[in-house]
Chain A
Amino acid sequence: MNPRLTGGMAWLLYPLTAAAMVFVLAPLAVVMAMSVSASAFASFPPTGFSLAWYGAVLADADFRFSLAFSGLLAACATTGALAFGLPAAFALTRYAVPGRDALRLILLSPLIVPLLVVGVALLRLFADWHSNSAPVNLLIGHILVTTPYVVRTVTASLLLADISLEEAARTLGAGRWRVLRRVTLPQIAPGVAAGALFAFMVSFDNYPISMWLADARYVPMPMLIYRQAASIYTPAVPATSTLMILFAFIVVLLIERLAGLRRAMAM
């Protein structure tokens, strides 16, 4: 356990940490406060207190569809990111692949290139392919931008994994698949979980890619919120945003319970 911070340093660090937390959380708090306003229009500070807007949002068919669609899209994008990212991370760390540094750069490039640019490029690509299916286009786009998160976290885990354990298992007669399942994966599980978590949330929150690839039928949650905000700005908009914040919070808690988020993040 880390020792408690005391003395002059504590006087400096505690207020700074508190200020940083306020800076990060204040916008979310404002949104949450606006969502419980009793008035017909969103305002801050809120007037009165009501949870009626949450009822209205949850009863809205478009909201329910978008939430389910975004959840499924994020889950499938995460699966795809794991399918591509895990082998890629293994190849980059365990094998002498020709041009490894260049490959790593290419795999991580969606993190560097502005997503708006990636979105326009994908729009052009799908037009050339005559691909008019918004769900398929969105899935491909989201896999593209989420895979680097898996590659990065799994690569870091693999570098820290003890290869001698795998060699010992092989010496004792275990096959490659068994070594992977019983020795390697348990060691890198926190990295895989962290990568999957990042991939899911990046997909779930993505706007710049979805903006170019979605159509009016398949509307992911961020686009639904934008659409609502462009109409009459009732407390339903911050209520929807608050539900998204809570959803993200629940996902983080679940990962923490299932895979040990703190362990994963402390790599």
Chain B
Amino acid sequence: MRINLGRRQVIKAAATAAAFPSVFVRGARAATRSIQVGIYSAQQGEYVRKQIIPKFEADLDCKVFATEGSTLNQIAALRATRDNPKFSVMFMDDIGIEVSKREGLIDALPVDKIPNIAGVLPRFMFFDGYGAGFALAAGGLVYNPQVTKPLASYAELWEPRFKQKFLMTSPKSTQSLYLLIAAVSIVTGKPLKDAQYEIDSVWPKMAELKPNVVSTYENMSQVMMVAQGQVEIAGIEWSKNLYPYTVQGAPLDMCFPKEGTFAGINCLSFVKNGPEPDLAAAFINRMLDPSVQQGLATATLNAPSVKGATFGPDIAKYIAYPESKMSEMGLFAADWAFINPRRPGWLEKYNQVFGV
């Protein structure tokens, strides 16, 4: 084989590589200030990227570099850049706010620079003002309304009729902790807020659930097994993940048994010593703007965290809003300061019981 590789070709190839950043410039323009923001992925990430950020950039003549990830990724990124913070604002679940605050990764929100925080419902302010919720998903069980009736109690999951018919959420997920709390509530008869402190005693009860568990799942695509009739119940799952399938016509619905409804809360946090703190505060303020909250809730089927939003019946039926509905559903957010340090041990126990 003969290769005609001249110096010019070599230089040309090297120049192409060097020019790479300028070859692919997407939506770049001059801006005096910029911040790096860690956002979620999926529908919410898309809405933030395409609807919220461009308008914010135009209004404040700035640049917002968004990175998509989950709560665990976001915390890992904050840890990796702790000495020289790269991010200014980080989205994470309420479970992550506790960890980030404890590790000194985030600061209290500068409320004086975030006027819209006055409209946030008090139940969405976390850990002494270190996290402000901006979206709420309800955690419950997934079923096929054409095949199964909604469950009135989590205790029904243990019934023989669901033998090899329950698709259980992965022990690695936050929802798996909520299943443990529901199990404690069944055994002790205590409300969820008290049951969460007795998880260590629940493992014999969880072992009794094993015959009904057909598999565990991490990806929402597997929940389609419920629609196809391969399993009857799945969960605990978030409403924001499931209802988009329902809206699209899949035979899937959610039920929220009497023990209570679990809260999946997406929060905004203010990175400690992050660049451009004023711009970061302005971005958080924008996320809590009533019109932004309304649009975000409509697009993602998450409940807003601010007062005064109104929704038509086509959206309202899917979200836990207004606050009176949250109370009716028995919305429960866990005490992460108690749970987080014990979680690795419970994950180990989960794996032992279910062999996953």
Contacts from A to B (Cβ < 8 Å)? 40-43, 65, 68-69, 72-73, 75-76, 79-80, 82-83, 120-121, 123-124, 126-128, 130, 132-136, 139, 177, 181, 185-186, 189-190, 211-212, 214-218, 223, 226-227, 229-233, 237, 259-260
Which residue of B has the minimal Cβ distance to A135? B21
Is A42 within 8 A of B14, CB to CB? Answer: no
Whether A227 contacts B250 in the complex (CB less than 8 A), given A127-B80, A216-B39, comes out as: no
Interfacial chain B residues near A133, Cβ < 8 Å: 21
| A126 to B80 alpha-carbon distance, docked (Å) | 11
| A65 to B46 alpha-carbon distance, docked (Å) | 15
Interfacial chain B residues near A181, Cβ < 8 Å: 3-6
Indicate with 1 or 0, residue by residue over B280-316, a CB within 8 angstroms of chain A CB atoms.
Answer: 0000000000000000000000000000000000000
Whether A123 contacts B36 in the complex (CB less than 8 A), given A76-B20, A132-B86, A233-B220, comes out as: no
Which residue of B has the minimal Cβ distance to A45? B228
CB distance from B137 to the nearest CB of A (A): 14
Interfacial chain A residues near B67, Cβ < 8 Å: 214-216
Interfacial chain A residues near B69, Cβ < 8 Å: 211
Which residue of B has the minimal Cβ distance to A126? B86
| A121 to B80 alpha-carbon distance, docked (Å) | 7
Whether A136 contacts B77 in the complex (CB less than 8 A), given A41-B224, A127-B85, comes out as: no
Contacts from B to A (Cβ < 8 Å)? 1-7, 13-14, 16-17, 20-21, 23-24, 26-27, 34, 36, 39, 41-43, 45-46, 49, 65-69, 73, 76-77, 80-81, 83-86, 219-221, 224, 227-228, 244-245, 248-250
Is A139 within 8 A of B21, CB to CB? Answer: yes
Is B227 within 8 A of A41, CB to CB? Answer: yes
Name 24 A/B residue pairs within 8 A (Cβ), A-sorted: A41-B248, A41-B250, A42-B224, A76-B17, A79-B13, A79-B16, A80-B17, A83-B17, A123-B81, A128-B84, A132-B34, A132-B65, A135-B24, A181-B4, A185-B3, A186-B3, A189-B1, A216-B39, A216-B65, A216-B68, A231-B42, A231-B46, A231-B244, A232-B43
Is A227 within 8 A of B41, CB to CB? Answer: yes
Interfacial chain A residues near B21, Cβ < 8 Å: 133, 135-136, 139
Is B17 within 8 A of A189, CB to CB? Answer: no
Q: Which of A41, A73, A259 touches B20 (beta carbons < 8 Å)?
A: A73
| A212 to B81 alpha-carbon distance, docked (Å) | 12
Whether A229 contacts B84 in the complex (CB less than 8 A), given A185-B5, A214-B67, A216-B49, comes out as: no
| A75 to B16 alpha-carbon distance, docked (Å) | 9
Is A229 within 8 A of B249, CB to CB? Answer: no
Is B77 within 8 A of A123, CB to CB? Answer: yes
Is A229 within 8 A of B66, CB to CB? Answer: no
Is A260 within 8 A of B36, CB to CB? Answer: no
CB distance from B15 to the nearest CB of A (A): 10
Is B248 within 8 A of A40, CB to CB? Answer: yes
Interfacial chain A residues near B65, Cβ < 8 Å: 132, 134, 215-217
| A88 to B26 alpha-carbon distance, docked (Å) | 34
Interfacial chain A residues near B16, Cβ < 8 Å: 75-76, 79
Q: Which of A41, A121, A230 touches B41 (beta carbons < 8 Å)?
A: A230
Interfacial chain A residues near B68, Cβ < 8 Å: 216, 223, 227
CB distance from A120 to the nearest CB of B (A): 5
Whether A135 contacts B245 in the complex (CB less than 8 A), given A120-B80, A215-B67, A233-B224, comes out as: no
Which residue of A has the minimal Cβ distance to B12? A79
Which residue of A has the minimal Cβ distance to B248? A40
Interfacial chain A residues near B45, Cβ < 8 Å: 216, 227
CB distance from A33 to the nearest CB of B (A): 14
CB distance from A235 to the nearest CB of B (A): 11
CB distance from B29 to the nearest CB of A (A): 12
Interfacial chain B residues near A260, Cβ < 8 Å: 1
